[in-house]
Structure 1
Amino acid sequence: MGTINSHRLNCAKIKWQIPLGNFDSLNIPGHPITGTPNYGGPIVTKGGLVIIAATADNKIRVFDKDTGEKLWAADLPTSGVATPATYSVNGKQYIVIACGGGREGAKSGDSYVAFALP
């Protein structure tokens, strides 16, 4: 249903592809996660982190740019229906995501959530 992909542009091949998001009601033991519809895009940090919310399961996730390994995830109050932004204050980097939800029957809201990068 919904995936996040890394492409090798110099040879037109997919480097990695993984489901993005999860519908708990569709989880069947022994079957792969299907992903959810996606509502926004990712950002990639200088340090190689891919950061994306954009899913119906109200989570924000961080992946390794080279391998696609999920490094971290956190719950959001509603779906992050935008591409995250990043900014720096006094040498500390942050990410912020607009959480609005309300798409395809999802819970609606109006908040911003910020996280500090380690």
Structure 2
Amino acid sequence: MARFAAVCMLAAAACCLLRSLAFVPAPATRSDALTTATGAAVIATIPAGADAFVYKGKEYFDVFYGIEPLAWAFCGFCIVYYGAVLKNAAQKYNIPPAPVPPKVGGFVGKEVENSEPSYMDPSIKQGPY
């Protein structure tokens, strides 16, 4: 239960950092000053349009979401490096399966193995016909 509460607190903090409306409290109705302050807080947490900017009359969108390209490259490097470390650890500590026992002889039918008459013997009537 403690882990669930910690995960919920981290999710709430992440949403607040991303300026989401998911965890904005409802305005209180106690006083006009409190209502005004709460309204100002709600307005401050409303996300901006699309983080787009206008240059020479044309609107552009920030494809890096406001994060430096070097930080994106470092994040990609970390993901690839971590994947390589996991792959190498899995290969290093992998226990190979037991060796397959060698095959001795070929296929032997059920009638030979169990000393039964062959199903192809015409003298034995099998089935309802």
TM-score (norm 2): 0.19
| Structure ranking higher on relative contact order (CA contacts 8 Å, 6+ apart) | 1
Compare the two structures and name the one with the higher strand fraction: 1
Which is greater in Rg? 2
For normalisation by structure 1, the TM-score amounts to 0.20
